[in-house]
Chains A and B, each alone.
Chain A
Amino acid sequence: DGGITQSPKYLFRKEGQNVTLSCEQNLNHDAMYWYRQDPGQGLRLIYYSQIVNDFQKGDIAEGYSVSREKKESFPLTVTSAQKNPTAFYLCASSPQWINTEAFFGQGTRLTVV
C-alpha cells in the first residue's frame, strides 16, 4: 500500500542532543513537508521541499535542518539549538508543490527531558 511512514512514533531525548525524525513516502510525490503541532495551535510549517536536492525554510525553521537526497525520503533533524523541541511532528507529501491534496504521516511525538 502507498503511504507516508514516520518513525518512530514516540521519541525521547535528553536536552542538548540532536535527534533525527524519519519520513519516507512511496507515493512518488515530488513535494514533502514537515509541520510542528503544539497544543492549542494549528500546524506550523518547518521546512518544505519541492523536488529532490532542494528545500526551503518554512515559518519556524530555526533549530531544525533537513535533507532531500532521495525523492522518497525527507528526514528532519531537531538540533540542540531548538529551544522548545518537545512537540508533535508531522510529515506530509503532495504530488506537486502546486495546490494539490496533501497526504500526512502518523506523526512522531518528541519529548525532550
Chain B
Amino acid sequence: KNEVEQSPQNLTAQEGEFITINCSYSVGISALHWLQQHPGGGIVSLFMLSSGKKKHGRLIATINIQEKHSSLHITASHPRDSAVYICAVGTLVGETSGSRLTFGEGTQLTVNP
C-alpha cells in the first residue's frame, strides 16, 4: 500500500462543475502539498498546508490531520483546469535533517466545455 493514496485516478467533468480530489496518507507528516502538472510535464505548487483550509481563487484545499486526509476542491471548473493534480506529504527525516516529499500517483482531471 502506498503511503499516499489519491482518488479518483481519473476524473472527467463538465465545465462549471464542482470538483473534489481526495488524498489519504498513512504516515505522520509535517505538511501536505497540492501540485498541478500540465501536459508537457512542468509542475506548479498550488498549496502547502499543515492544518485547516486554504483558498486561492477557485481552488480550495482542506486537511484533517486526525483523519490523515486532505481534499482539493475546484469550484466552477474550466477546461483550462485540465491537468494532473498531485498530492505530496512532507515527512521529517531524522531529528534535524529536515523533511522530504512523498508523492501520490496523481489524479488526471479533464474538464470538457
Contact = CB atoms under 8 A, between A and B. Distances in A.
Q: Do A and B come from one complex?
A: yes
Interface of A: 31, 33, 35, 37, 40-45, 48, 50, 58, 88, 90, 92, 96-107, 109
Given A42-B4, A42-B103, A42-B105, 13 more contacts: A42-B88, A42-B104, A45-B100, A96-B98, A97-B97, A97-B98, A98-B98, A98-B99, A99-B99, A102-B33, A102-B45, A103-B45, A106-B40
Nearest to B29: A99
Interface of B: 2, 4, 30-31, 33, 35, 40-45, 48, 86, 88, 90, 92, 97-106
A41 B30 CA distance: 23
Contacts of B106: 42
The main secondary structure of chain B at its interface with chain A is strand
Contact of B90 (A58, A90, A99): A99
Contacts of B101: 33, 43, 45, 102
Given A42-B103, A96-B98, A101 B33 contact: yes
Nearest to A39: B105
B63 to A, nearest CB: 14
A107 B97 contact: no
Nearest to A109: B41
A104 B98 contact: no
